[in-house]
A and B are shown apart, each in its own frame.
Chain A
Amino acid sequence: MKYGTYVFTRPFGNFSIPVPFQNTILRDYFRAISLPYSLPEVEHKFDNCYMSLFTLMEKMERKSTIYMVSLEMLPSNKKYNEISKIAVSNEISFFGVLEKRALKTTSDFLNYIKIRRFCDDNNE
């Protein structure tokens, strides 16, 4: 799989976006960048559960991208480190439509989480 999509049933960041709307956002984005849209992997509702993201990463081929409405869906705790290591070693990027930002290299992942944790700590 070269392009994957990931949607989130729980609130993320300051957002709570129903899955059908996340689908619409991603479908629209895929249309804009002329990529074929495929059904998203839907994350489970349980706090700190990333089972569907692990499933999706397993399906992705090298040099592939997982698109999501916001990178804030990613965990910010130690599971983030685990997920980012798997992504980097398998050459899987994450792209947040809202942030217009890709996380591809170790340094991308580190920079992103540094700012995110700072913002979380300072209620930004």
Chain B
Amino acid sequence: MERLIVSAFENKGYIYGIHKDSCLINEIIKCIQDVANVEDLSLLHKTVSRDDINEIRILSFEKLNNIPNIIERLYGSVSESLLSLMGNDILGQNRLNLSIQMPNDVNSQLNLHTDTISGQSEYEVVLWTPLTRAYQSNSIYIFEKDLSFDIYANLSKYERIGNTGLYERFKDKAQFIEVEPPNYLMFSSTLLHGNVINHTNSTRVSFNYRYKPTYSKKEINVPNERKFGTFYVPVSLSPITKLVMDYKEPSNFK
């Protein structure tokens, strides 16, 4: 199993998996259903207007992040993949992010980008979990590793056409992800991805979350808040890391 995960990741830069803790995924779905007062999240657009969706998103975000031990449980749910990809010294994002993509909503569109482009660590993986069936234009698209790396390395050539123009140029290579709960997608933060206007008749709800190895290079170009202690919290620490956290060098020599 581990070899399969590693080889898929090495080839494409992303893998699929199934959440071990499907109860957690159901709890998250239930939490949003309660906030939005709907039974079927894919039909959210039937009862909630586009003007009100942000409020539902914010309320749901707060509620799902208050599910007891959610960070620990989420790690337990995907730890097999993480162990294969980055070992057992792992930091995770302090909160889960929630996305809601209603049909024909132009305001929720996220242009072609990589997470690293805005200063996230290149050692990071993104856990993307649909809470409704994700397919065609209601899903996200992703560019495989080789193409992503090639475009990224030559990004300055595409500056004037912008991210939208860049997507237009390469859109025939975009892989639209087809996945449904309790499955997930895990991809490298270095991969180009984004979404388009949802032309299906189904709302897509998903959450995303990030993991990176405890020992990964610091982003020095971007003095942002994405650091261990603010953006990242420990989700799995090795015995040696725990030991070093308690260890102090002597410093009071006079």
Contacts and interface: CB of A to CB of B under 8 A. Distances in A.
Interface residues of B, number: 27
A47 B111 CA distance: 20
A55 B119 contact: no
Nearest to B230: A18
Interface string A51-64: 11011111100000
Interface string B156-186: 1011111111000000000000000000000
Given A19-B224, A45-B222, A55-B111, A9 B159 contact: no
A54 B157 CA distance: 13
Contacts, number: 65
Interface in A1-17: 9-11, 16
B interface, over-half SS? helix
A19 B159 contact: no
Contacts of B110: 39
A42 interface: yes
A119 B110 CA distance: 36
Contact of B162 (A10, A36, A54): A54
A98 interface: no
Interface in A54-110: 54-59
B246 interface: no
Given A18-B224, A19-B224, A36-B51, A42 B118 contact: yes
Nearest to B219: A45
A86 to B, nearest CB: 10
A11 B223 contact: yes
B151 to A, nearest CB: 12
B155 A51 contact: yes
A54 B224 contact: no
A58 B225 contact: no
B69 interface: no
B117 to A, nearest CB: 5
A54 B224 CA distance: 23
Contacts of B156: 46, 49
B158 A20 contact: no
Contact of B163 (A16, A20, A36, A55): A55
Contacts of A54: 159-162
B221 interface: yes
Nearest to A57: B162
Interface string B199-230: 00000000000000000000101111100000
B107 A58 contact: no
Contacts of B219: 45
Interface string B93-129: 0000000000000011011010011110000000000
9 contacts: A9-B224, A10-B222, A44-B118, A45-B219, A49-B155, A54-B162, A55-B111, A55-B163, A55-B165
Interface of A: 9-11, 16, 18-20, 36-39, 41-47, 49-52, 54-59
